[in-house]
Every structure is written in C-alpha cells, then in structure tokens.
Amino acid sequence: MSPVAVCTLDQLDEDFPLVVQVDGVEVAIVRTQGALYAIKNECSHADVALSEGEVDDCHLECWMHGSRFNLRTGVPDSLPATRNVPVYVVSLESDAPNSAVFVDVTADASLVSPPSVSIGLKG
C-alpha cells in the first residue's frame, strides 16, 4: 500500500480530530501544536472512538475511561488501557494551506523519526 490522500490541510481544525477511512481502517487525523498525527480511531481498552475525546498536550484522551494516548507513539500513559493504539505516518503534498494530507496505514509512525509532519507557517 502507499499513502492515501484523505483531506486537505485547511479541513483540519486545531485539536479537533477528523475521522477518515483509509484502506478499511478508521483513522483520526489530529492537528495540534504545529504538527499532524494519525491514530487508529479505536481505543485499545474497548471499542470506543478516540476521536470523540479531547486533545491535550500531544495526547488524545479516551472519553470513556480517561486513558490518554500519546499521538506520537500510540502508547497509553494512564490506565485502564494498557495496549498501544496504532499510529500511522502522515505526509503533506506541499506547505500550502490547502495541501493534500496523506496517510499510510501500513507505516507505523512510532518507528519513524520524526513521528509526525510539521505544518509550515505559510498561509
């Protein structure tokens, strides 16, 4: 598989996840603190959509029981969740405000450095 275009940069509001489907996987795209992240939209503790939780300090908090998942690594930093949520590599077509945003659900973002794409200051 290769990266799939899922939205444009200007469709992403700061700290409000956008849910997209990529190759049959539901993914939450998060724009926060000058970067983009992609995380599977399912808590590892139960079948709950993480996109309905709050974004805070590069974490996405599950609204059901409060586990917070690191958007860079997918690792929960608090119980009751103990398993990672998959995070995926995100890329941009350009630094334009309406650039296409790509996600590759076959590429584990926790294994690459940097684990996210920075958003340019243009526009």
- Give the residues lining the site for ligand FES (CB under 6 A): 43, 45-46, 48, 62, 64-65, 67, 80-81
Helix (H, G, I), strand (E, B) or coil at 62: coil
What is the b/e burial string over 39-54, where b = at least 16 CB atoms within 10 angstroms of the residue's CB?
bbbbbbbeebbbbbbe
Closest to ligand FES by CB, 38 or 60: 60
Amino acid at 111: L
Counts of helices then strands in the chain (DSSP H, E): 0, 10
State the nearest-atom distance from the C-beta of 103 to ligand FES, in Å.
22
Closest to ligand FES by CB, 47 or 113: 47
The two tokens of residue 48 are 């709950």
Closest to ligand FES by CB, 35 or 49: 49
State the nearest-atom distance from the C-beta of 98 to ligand FES, in Å.
34
Helix (H, G, I), strand (E, B) or coil at 22: strand
Closest to ligand FES by CB, 27 or 62: 62
State the nearest-atom distance from the C-beta of 61 to ligand FES, in Å.
9
Give the burial class of 80: count Cβ atoms within 10 A of its Cβ; 0-12 exposed, 13-18 middle, 19 or more buried. middle
State the nearest-atom distance from the C-beta of 120 to ligand FES, in Å.
34
